[in-house]
């Protein structure tokens, strides 16, 4: 599936999102304005605005608030990246130097905060059930922080379980997918049936999307951050969890001890990667991803047929292809 086909279909809406983001990020402070412009020159895939625009179209007729909410979720997403780069000590993002490396960690946090504020300003300026959308965004902010803290805690203990992992990836990724979908349905005054279909769809898609990212950390090419960086940071993700399920108790304890000591001994990564390969951890993780993708597509069944519905299903194919 070619993502460009969906982008071409959504081009008018995406252009409005881009203009909206440019408008709210303009500042009379030269350093802030310059940095915001630099960040906007490399916007990434714009997957969350695409998701919002498609969900709005599947649930009704897109409105000005649809654009505002799609823009708000993209601002919030990029704010989390600015914060994550500081937490992770990342020098590059999307193949370019991070704000933290160019200016400072403090500047990256402050600019991230600015983007969060502009996200909330967009919601406050809307007409579609503002209080509810604000609650959704606030809950998502809470999830994002909780996910980062839980991942940080587990990286220090190397005792991540499947339950821990699913909670982390819901908080850090799927919660914002779900927020984008729910806000989009609200923006078109969509039905409860549409909301009940598109919210779970987006949550399942977000989980699958993060699993695909974690697969690529073991078996892919660079997609915006260096391959293998999560393992070097002591993060136990789906491929390793799948491999651990096939190991003996002693073998699993040994591998977890290697992950726990990764900061002091980064060379441990080679043995852990060999273990994942020997246990077919990547193939098993692809199976987990496929489960969530199938779940996402099945959530769409109650919706009436539309171009947007078909493209939402095709987004699952895009996520599936990312492991190739």
Residues, the chain, total?
324
Which pLDDT belongs to residue 2? 76
Number of separate domains in the chain? 1
**SS3 category, 249:** helix
- pLDDT, averaged across the chain: 93
Nearest to 174, CA basis, from 146, 138, 200:
200
Which pLDDT belongs to residue 226? 54
**What secondary structure letter does DSSP report for 224?**
S
Q: CA 319 to CA 290: how far, in whole Å? A: 9
- Domain of 231? 3-321
Using the predicted structure, report yes or no on whether residue 323 has a pLDDT greater than 60. no
Which pLDDT belongs to residue 124? 96
Which pLDDT belongs to residue 1? 62
Maximal CA-CA distance, the chain: 60
Which pLDDT belongs to residue 220? 60
Which CATH number belongs to the domain containing residue 197 in this structure?
Answer: 1.10.600.10
Q: CA 132 to CA 77: how far, in whole Å? A: 19
Q: CA 31 to CA 18: how far, in whole Å? A: 21
Q: CA 73 to CA 66: how far, in whole Å? A: 11
Per-residue pLDDT tens digits for 227-249: 578 898 899 999 999 999 999 99
Q: CA 58 to CA 188: how far, in whole Å? A: 10
């Amino acid at each position: 599936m070619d993502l460009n086909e969906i982008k071409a279909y959504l081009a008018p809406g995406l252009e409005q999102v881009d203009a909206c983001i440019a408008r709210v990020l303009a500042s009379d402070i030269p350093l802030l304005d310059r940095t915001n412009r630099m960040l906007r020159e490399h916007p990434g895939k714009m997957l969350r605005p695409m998701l919002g625009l498609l969900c709005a179209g599947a649930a009704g007729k897109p409105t000005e608030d649809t654009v505002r909410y799609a823009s708000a979720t993209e601002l919030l997403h990029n704010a989390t990246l600015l914060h994550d780069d500081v937490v992770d000590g990342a020098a590059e993002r999307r193949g370019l130097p991070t704000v933290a490396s160019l200016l400072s960690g403090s500047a990256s946090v402050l600019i991230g905060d600015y983007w969060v504020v502009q996200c909330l300003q967009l919601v406050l300026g809307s007409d579609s059930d503002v209080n509810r959308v604000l609650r959704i965004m606030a809950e998502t902010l809470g999830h994002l922080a909780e996910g980062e803290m839980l991942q940080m805690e587990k990286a220090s203990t190397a005792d991540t379980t499947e339950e821990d992992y699913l909670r982390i990836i819901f908080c850090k990724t799927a919660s914002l997918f779900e927020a984008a979908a729910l806000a989009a349905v609200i923006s078109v005054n969509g039905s409860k049936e549409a909301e009940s279909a598109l919210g779970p769809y987006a949550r399942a898609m977000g989980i699958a999307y993060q699993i695909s990212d974690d697969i690529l950390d073991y078996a892919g090419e660079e997609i915006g951050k260096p391959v293998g960086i999560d393992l070097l940071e002591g993060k136990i993700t789906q491929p390793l969890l799948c491999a651990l399920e096939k190991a003996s108790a002693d073998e699993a304890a040994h591998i977890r001890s290697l992950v726990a000591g990764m900061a002091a001994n980064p060379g441990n990564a080679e043995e852990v990667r060999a273990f994942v390969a020997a246990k077919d951890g990547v193939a098993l993780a692809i199976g987990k991803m496929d489960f969530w993708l199938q779940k996402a597509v099945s959530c769409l069944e109650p919706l009436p047929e539309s171009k947007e519905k078909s493209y939402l299903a095709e987004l699952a194919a895009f996520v599936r292809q990312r492991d190739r």
